[in-house]
Amino acid sequence: MNPADFERFLQQSLADRKVSGGEKVALADWLDQNANTDQKKGVVRHAAFEVARGAVADPDAVHVIAWLEDILKVVCPVMSPAATTGSVASHAYFSPGEACLGEIVNLFGQARRTADVCVFTITDDRIANAILAAHRRGVVVRMITDHEKSHDAGSDIHKFRAAGIQVKLDDVHGPDAYGLTGHMHHKFAIFDGTRLLNGSYNWTRGAADMNYENITDTTDPKLVAAFASEFKRLWNMF
């Protein structure tokens, strides 16, 4: 089974709300060949929860599934892709191309509780749609962005505010003696308090299509804590 086949396998298994003996054997064989690390097992676990969420119509039941997933992350932390006990997962991505874009969208898709976003600008609708989808799932999104860039043509900030997402702008300080103002130029985000995304990559189509940029995705607790502290400081300032 490739990843697409695996998702179809999960869907078919869920159809009768049972996991048969044959399905258990097939799943175990697939895991042996394709998920031989804790991080990969965490991704598989996440995929199973996503299939379950998609089959639940009752919004309250979806919250029950989210509760169960959070409990299992504590009971079986080895299964968590972002908080594996005793290990740090770090990956680098580069543009032009869609590697950076794909990882940003992926992390919003995996977020379950919180997403603290501190970025210069957002004009790529593919990223905006991922943020809005996370918000609709109940993820608490907080955003800090640049005041001037929020007025640019194509800025998605108005969409976030209209959807009820908390947004703060760096407009508390006026121009200096030379008539200049500083920019909130960060490009980082923290997901569920355990995963950090940071780099030069602007959240724009131009960054994906033309610019030489980078992002790093890491679960290093020291780095996550440092950026979380900076986000808190800026959030309180603005």
Between 42 and 97, residue with greater pLDDT: 97
Q: What is the mean pLDDT of the chain?
A: 83
Residue 234, Cβ density class (10 Å: 0-12 exposed, 13-18 middle, ≥19 buried): middle
What pLDDT was estimated at residue 175? 58
Q: What gap in Å lies between CA 152 and CA 121, rounded to an integer?
A: 9
What is the rounded average pLDDT of the residues 122-146?
A: 95
What is the rounded average pLDDT of the residues 41-57?
A: 76
What pLDDT was estimated at residue 82? 44
**Residues forming the active site:** 185, 187, 192
Tokens 């108005």 correspond to: 158
Radius of gyration of the chain (CA): 20
pTM greater than the 0.85 cutoff: no
Of 17-21, 61-65, 86-90, 177-181, minimum mean pLDDT range:
177-181
Query: ∠ CA(7), CA(64), CA(89), 5° rounding?
Result: 55
Tokens 């039941």 correspond to: 61
Q: How confident is the model at residue 208 (pLDDT cuts 50, 70, 90)?
A: very high
Q: Which token pair is 213?
A: 């940029």
What is the rounded average pLDDT of the residues 157-172?
A: 91
